[in-house]
Amino acid sequence: MSENDVSLPTNRAFVIQLRASSGVSEVAHRGPVEHLASGQAMRFSDEDDLWAFVDGVLAKEGSEQGARGTSGRST
C-alpha cells in the first residue's frame, strides 16, 4: 500500500467544516460536523463542543458494537 492508498474505517469518519475567522490565517473553532456512518450532525461553537460530539459518537458506536459481540478492531 502506498502513502496515497490509505484505508480508514468509515465508521470512524467525520466531516468537519471550519469557518474562517477574522484573520486570514486563523481558523475559528465553529461550524458543522457530521458522522458519515450514522448521519448524526451538529453545529459546534468551540473546540470542546466538537470533541464532545466526536467522543460521544465514537463511544456510542463502541457500545453498540460491544452489544453485537464485535469490537470493530482487527486482530
Over its C-alpha atoms, the chain yields an Rg (Å, rounded) of: 15
For the ranges 2-6, 20-24, 59-63, 70-74, the maximum mean pLDDT occurs at 59-63
The answer to whether residue 14 sits within a structural domain is yes
Specify the higher pLDDT residue, 11 or 6: 11
Residue 43 belongs to a domain: yes
Among the residue ranges 20-24, 35-39, 40-44, 58-62, the one predicted with the least confidence is 20-24
- Structural domain boundaries, residue 16: 10-60
Q: How many distinct structural domains can be found in the chain?
A: 1
Query: 73 in a domain, yes or no?
Result: no
> Does residue 46 lie within any of the structural domains?
yes
DSSP string for 1-43: --TT-----GGG-EEE-PEE-SSTT-EES-EEEEETTT--EEE
In this structure, is residue 47 part of a structural domain?
yes
Residue 40: inside a domain: yes
